[in-house]
Structure 1
Amino acid sequence: MSDTSYTEKRSYFDRMLTLYGRKPALEALRDRDLDCQTLHLAHSNREGGIVGELLAAAEQRGVTIKRHSREELARISRNGKQDQGVALDVLCPAFQSVESYLNNLEGKPRQRLLALDGITNPQNIGMIVRSAAAGNIDGLLWSRKGNAAPGPLVVKASAGTLYRAPVLTCQALPEALQQCQHNGFEVCTLEADARIDLFAYRPAGHCIYVLGNETDGVSVAVSKLAQQGLSIPMNNGVESLNVAVTASLIAYADRM
């Protein structure tokens, strides 16, 4: 395989989101704005009911249908306990790897990224995705390690914006942050005792705002990479905000 063919194939799979579960797959198939690629079904599924609706919707749209053993389907869905024998590949145009994003960074205006550092609640991630898509955010750095996977609960909490969100995928966040730093990004973390106010801060160049775990905050490995700490002013003795609320404030801080 040539280097060009390999790069194109990898780019294609970087943009692929695999949903699992019967109702989420059916909702996606009925949404004509979504680029549904392949419907995966376990041989153990009965043909009637919602499975019949899935088949009809896929056939009507010309979506490829593939049958698998239960074990094969579990590997595709990556959630054998909850996939109900169904998975659906959806092509998301704004998804890409962090490497691809950085390779095309030259010439772009100042970039603002959000990074997920151990966010485990799918509802929180869904709300973060929605804020990133709506606000002044150029990419959401989402590592496969440590964060909740982009499954049906994330899609629901994002009100469907996950399909259009500028998601930048990577394997592990510390390594991805280092790659970004080599390309001129400043890494910022949110800290309660930081002296610099988020709303007053104006980075000189590209910037990444890291969102830490709901309980433990930013990981040690990421804290060591951070170049700036920022705080959100609090009144009435409030110590912290939900991570999704923090993401919303960051998304619009540059416009205040």
Structure 2
Amino acid sequence: MTDSPEYLKKRAFFDSLLTIYGRKPVLEALEDSSLPVHKLHLADSNRKDQLISRIEQLASERNIEIAYLDRKGLSRISKNARQDQGVALDLALPRYGTAEAFLQEQHNEHFELLALDGITNPQNLGMIIRSACAGGIDGILLPRKGCAQIDPLVIKASVGTLFKTRILRCEQLAPVLKKFAEQGARVCALSSHAKDTLRSIDTAAPNIFVLGNETHGVSTAVSETCSHRLRIPMQNDVESLNVAITAALISFRHQF
């Protein structure tokens, strides 16, 4: 049975929703009129302090739907009851979606992506997003499990670039990388022990650069999907770089 165009359109819309939470991140997002907002969610138990009043005022001025929920209902939206502070906001970002949709759109097109395998530090994730955005990377593959998720710390570290960067969600990274490879993408793991250097990779084929966990590197399951292994040459017996610095070097390697 083939899905109807109406269903596919509706699914694509909901795939484009990014839910953020926390009073200050939500307030800052509402203050940015360039960000398309779908819906504001508020806990009905919130005390009407200055921040909540301002959030409600901005939503009203922008004609944004407000849903009042009990704490349990709000936690289902935010997926982080401990830190949502009774506030969540759905952003309808055109550059936020799924890896599968991107793969269909970019068939036979050239692209370069960063794939994150076990990046658990929110500060690193935010800085990676910032570098990818500034350096012109076409997207970031971000699994829903095993990596830091988009939260107020990530938003702060990205300095607003999260909303300008194409984030491609997937359940697990290894199966998705295999699909990309089957359609001609070159999947490259960054490793300090690799023989080839980053400079040796050309742009004839689409490239995906896999960045591994801050301590353990690329996982075994993901490593098995990689066709290339690359290192960044370093001097003075330095063994490795912070993963966010590595992401910056990859993102900007064509700029100079």
Pick the TM interval, shorter chain.
Answer: over 0.9
Secondary structure class of the residue paired with 2:42: strand
Secondary structure class of the residue paired with 1:225: coil
Identify the residue that residue 83 of structure 1 maps to in structure 2: 84
Listed as ranges, the gaps of 5+ residues in structure 2 are: none
Give me the CA root mean square deviation: 1.4
Q: In 1, Cα distance between the equivalents of 2:223 and 2:24?
A: 40
Is 1:50–2:47 an aligned residue pair?
no
* Distance verdict in 2 for CA 1:207–1:64, change over 3 Å: same
Report if the CA contact (8 A) 2:107-2:183 is conserved: no
1:92 is displaced (CA, Å) by 1.3
Q: In 2, Cα distance between the equivalents of 1:34 and 1:42?
A: 22
Q: Deviations along 1:215-238, whole A, 9 cap, x unmatched?
A: 111001011111111011111111
Identify the residue that residue 32 of structure 1 maps to in structure 2: 33
Listed as ranges, the gaps of 5+ residues in structure 1 are: none
1:120 is displaced (CA, Å) by 0.7
Q: In 2, Cα distance between the equivalents of 1:10 and 1:159?
A: 29
Report if the CA contact (8 A) 1:93-1:164 is conserved: no
Moved more, 217-226 or 202-211: 202-211
1:58 is displaced (CA, Å) by 0.6
The structure 1 segments of at least 4 consecutive aligned residues displaced by more than 3 Å after TM superposition are none
Identify the residue that residue 127 of structure 2 maps to in structure 1: 127
Identify the residue that residue 209 of structure 2 maps to in structure 1: 209
What letter matches 1:71 in structure 2?
K
Q: In 1, Cα distance between the equivalents of 2:104 and 2:39?
A: 29
State the number of aligned residues: 255
Per the normalisation by structure 2, the TM-score is 0.96
Identify the residue that residue 61 of structure 1 maps to in structure 2: 62
1:170 is displaced (CA, Å) by 0.8
Is 1:118–2:121 an aligned residue pair?
no
Alignment of 1:150-189 (within 5 A): 150-189=150-189
Report if the CA contact (8 A) 1:38-1:88 is conserved: yes
1:255 is displaced (CA, Å) by 4.2
Per the normalisation by structure 1, the TM-score is 0.96
Secondary structure class of the residue paired with 1:187: strand
Is 1:105–2:85 an aligned residue pair?
no
Q: In 2, Cα distance between the equivalents of 1:132 and 1:65?
A: 33
Identify the residue that residue 95 of structure 2 maps to in structure 1: 94
